[in-house]
Structure 1
Amino acid sequence: DVDIDILAGTVKKLQDMGIAFFNIEGGEPFLVYHRLKYICSIIDNRSEIWINSTGSGMTPEKLKELKAMNVTAVMFSLHSPDANAFNSFLGKDDAWETMKAGVKMCHQAGLAVAFNTCLMRDDFYNGNFEKIMDTAKDFKACLVQLIKPKPAGGWLEREDLELTLEDAEFIKAKVHKYNLEKAYAHYPAIAAQIIEEDKNVFGCTAGGTDRFYINAKGDVQPCEFLNISFGNLAVENFEDIYQKMRSVFAEGKDCFLCEKYAAKIHRLYRENNLQSLPLSPQLSEQIYRSWDRGKPTSLYEELEKLK
């Protein structure tokens, strides 16, 4: 992991830049609680903090300490409503019970509970989506983040993740039903990437347009799904890395780069016999120096007119 003091210094700079929201994930943050607590302790009330967790390593005492800082919510993954499938996915026989215990502790500590779920196309046709929503409601979640499957990380080689226009509209209709119809008012809200990333809304929000990602090694990535790096905090100045990235993402555009350039990233990964991602800054430049990010996102153009 990147040196904690370097990470802490970067977090302070980010707050001073106006970053309003920090989402801390792992690994499992609660298993390195000294690092988690330290980072949360230096984020003042200008920003909100959410933590992604499996529940492993979580205790009421730790949650009480975090609640006293600026931690607002804990987000758990819920990729299956079935306990056995959930355990199998995480590779632990007690993963479901650990998650349940974590949810209970969060509620007792007064921390909001949220879930993220990454569902395949068929899950929206076979009833799994509805079961996920029922489970999230039963766990008294405030939010379900619906993640669109993307060719990144361990799925970099996947070529079967793209949705048809008909599938996308079908999924959006389900989301709108849960979010807007009175009959579903007692369900958690849904934040769906398939809607937020539409070209008529935010489009691709990577590269500091709306968000970016710092991994455990200190690589500054445009997005957790886009496996390239603009530099590493351990060897370069953060401001220089960030400005380099922002120069490439000077305005919001509508191309989903993680999908369009997954094959090229995977080719460079194989050709250079790499053991991990993201690509190095040098190899990453081969991706972004000539890429096509698409058309400017209309929402940002409309917002500019309001100035």
Structure 2
Amino acid sequence: MEFNDLPEMAETFLKLPLKVDPAKMAKFFNEEAGPVFYLMFGITYECQCSCRHCCTGNYKKEKHRDLTTEEIKDVLDQAAKPLIVNFFGGEPTLRPDLMELIKYAKEKSMYVFTDTNGLAVTKDFAQQLKDSGLDLLYVSIDSPVPELHDEYRGVKGCFDKAVGAIKNALDVGLSCVISTYMTKESLANGDFEKIIQMSKDMGTHGVRYLLPTPAGKWLHETDVLLTPEEKEKVWALTDYPYISRDFYFQTQFSSQCRGVADKVYMYISPYGDVQPCCFMPLSFGNIREEPLKTVLDKMYKHPMYSHECIPNQCPMIDPDFRKKYIENIPDEAKLPYKM
């Protein structure tokens, strides 16, 4: 597999809030890169929250189906040497083997990230994350108003726990970034700017924002999308790299996502489904049934990945893509839908 524009992408990653050795980065891109560049690994659907915008909230949940520790390690072995492994959920901190997985992933990749709602991140837990080798912790803050954040996440006291998690991470020397889900409301009422200021006041390493996307619980709610004028306002507020879009390989000042275009990103669900993205409810195979390389070869040869079909924006907000691949999913189908 070949990645496009590696020098440019390397420059992007050098701006991450991490201790980056340029020589090591260059060696990775030139000699060590495996078949997967950025692996978003969903390790559980379990979560204490019920967020209104959850991107995996409409996936079929079944008890006792999560990949085992050994199955996850086997996938990491098959991925060879990805630049980044991002453990995702659900809520990753609910996996009792999280520290073991971080340690193993760190041996296999350059960087390991994880996302959290912060409910379980005590100072001791934060120290364990750091000792395990975690490079970056994303803590979700959806509103600077505690009551609204709690309402959006469905858990009373969630805001205070998230703030506590940020403080605990910073206290133990763990790089921490606030992750926030952009909405029309938070942009219009100034809450996005307040979250940025909150991040700076707390001394975090940055703010990652996710543009509203008709995916997950919002799969059929295209009215959540920002207008061109609203997007221009977002770009004007973006002080890159301190404030960045949800994935570092994305174009920072447009709606373009290079993940599909450059075949640099993939998502594996807690049950082993291989998907182009966690937002995209389409499965090209399962690692319990086929080797990862076999599934990737099949996925990347699909017409969806041809240059003629790749939109110049996130596929999930592209009308033609949605009409062809999303709107045709039967109402009774389990998600992710098998291609």
Deviation per CA, 1:261-303: give whole Å up to 9, x if none.
3455244241xx13x42112xxx2xxxxxxxxxxxxxxxxxxx
Determine which of 102, 116, 130 is the counterpart of 1:67: 130
CA–CA distance in structure 2, aligned partners of residues 84 and 238 of structure 1: 43
Alignment of 1:159-178 (within 5 A): 159-175=222-238, 178=239
The answer to whether 1:213 aligns with 2:271 is no
Checking the alignment, whether the CA contact within 8 Å between 1:208 and 1:246 is kept in structure 2 is no
Compared CA separation, residues 163 and 54, structure 1 to 2 (3 A):
closer
* SS state at 2:222 partner: coil
When the two structures are superposed, what TM-score results if normalisation uses the length of structure 1?
A: 0.77
| Unaligned 5+ runs, structure 2 | 1-65
Aligned twin of 1:239: 293
Alignment of 1:1-307 (within 5 A): 1-14=66-79, 16=80, 18-34=81-97, 36-43=98-105, 44=107, 46-175=109-238, 178-179=239-240, 189-192=242-245, 196-197=250-251, 203-206=257-260, 209-248=263-302, 249=305, 254-260=312-318, 261-262=321-322, 264-270=325-331, 273-274=332-333, 276-280=334-338, 284=339
CA–CA distance in structure 2, aligned partners of residues 133 and 85 of structure 1: 17
Give aligned-pair identity as a percent: 23
Q: CA deviation at 1:194?
A: 10
Compared CA separation, residues 54 and 194, structure 1 to 2 (3 A):
closer
Deviation per CA, 1:231-282: give whole Å up to 9, x if none.
1112222111111112233667624321233455244241xx13x42112xx
Q: State the AA in 2 paired with 1:257.
A: P
Checking the alignment, whether the CA contact within 8 Å between 1:80 and 1:128 is kept in structure 2 is yes
Checking the alignment, whether the CA contact within 8 Å between 2:245 and 2:252 is kept in structure 1 is no
CA–CA distance in structure 2, aligned partners of residues 133 and 53 of structure 1: 18
Q: State the AA in 2 paired with 1:228.
A: L
When the two structures are superposed, what TM-score results if normalisation uses the length of structure 2?
A: 0.71
CA–CA distance in structure 1, aligned partners of residues 206 and 148 of structure 2: 22
Checking the alignment, whether the CA contact within 8 Å between 1:207 and 1:246 is kept in structure 2 is no
| Unaligned 5+ runs, structure 1 | 180-187, 285-307
Checking the alignment, whether the CA contact within 8 Å between 1:56 and 1:99 is kept in structure 2 is yes
Larger Cα Rg: Structure 1 or Structure 2?
1
Compared CA separation, residues 88 and 125, structure 1 to 2 (3 A):
closer
Greater Cα offset, 104-113 or 81-90? 104-113
Q: CA deviation at 1:161?
A: 2.8
- In the alignment of these two chains, the number of paired residues is 265
Q: CA deviation at 1:221?
A: 0.7
Compared CA separation, residues 56 and 197, structure 1 to 2 (3 A):
same
What CA RMSD, in Å, does the superposition of the two structures yield over aligned residues?
2.6
Structure with the larger helix share: 1
Q: State the AA in 2 paired with 1:6.
A: E
CA–CA distance in structure 1, aligned partners of residues 176 and 328 of structure 2: 39
Checking the alignment, whether the CA contact within 8 Å between 1:148 and 1:194 is kept in structure 2 is no
Higher RCO (C-alpha 8 Å, min separation 6)? 2
